[in-house]
Amino acid sequence: MKLIPEWLPHKYCCVAWPCNKELYGEVLYDAKLELAKVINEISLDEKVLLFCNKSDITEARKIIDNKNIELVIANLDDSWMRDIAPIFLENNKKLESICFEFNGYGKYPNYKNDNRLGNLISQKLNIKSINSDIVLEGGAITYDEEGNLFTTESALLNKNRKNKLSKKEFENKLIELLGVKNIIWFPEGLVADDTDGHIDNLICPIGNKTYLIASSKDTTSPNYNILKKNIEVMNNSFKHDINLIEIPIPEHVLFHQKKLVASYINFYFTNNKIILPKFSVPQDEEVFDIFNSLFPKKTIIMISTKAINYGGGNIHCVTMNVPKI
Q: 176-201 as b/e, with b when 16 or more CB fall inside 10 Å?
A: ebbbbeebbbbebbbeebebbbbbbb
Handedness of CA 307, 310, 315, 321 (dihedral sign): negative
Alpha-carbon distance values, 2 to 89, 200, 323 (Å): 5, 20, 12
At 26 the three-state DSSP class reads: helix
- Residue 251: the pLDDT is 86
**Residue 320 backbone dihedrals phi, psi, to 5 degrees:** -145, 120
Find, among 231, 273, 275, 277, the residue nearest to 250 by Cα.
277
Backbone angles phi, psi at 317, to 5 degrees: -65, -30
Spatial strand order in the sheet of 10-16: 69-73, 47-52, 10-16, 319-323
What are the backbone angles phi and psi of residue 249, rounded to the nearest 5°? -80, 150
**CA-to-CA separations, 7 to 62, 84, 147, 230, in angstroms, rounded:** 31, 20, 15, 22
Span 2-323: which CATH code? 3.75.10.10
Mean pLDDT, consecutive 10-residue stretches, the chain (325 aa), reads: 97 98 97 98 97 97 91 98 98 97 97 98 98 98 98 98 96 97 98 98 98 97 98 96 98 95 98 97 97 98 98 98 97
User: Structural domain boundaries of the chain?
Assistant: 2-323
Please tell me the predicted confidence (pLDDT) of residue 269: 98
From CA 38, how far away is CA 268, in angstroms rounded?
10
DSSP secondary structure letter of residue 149: E
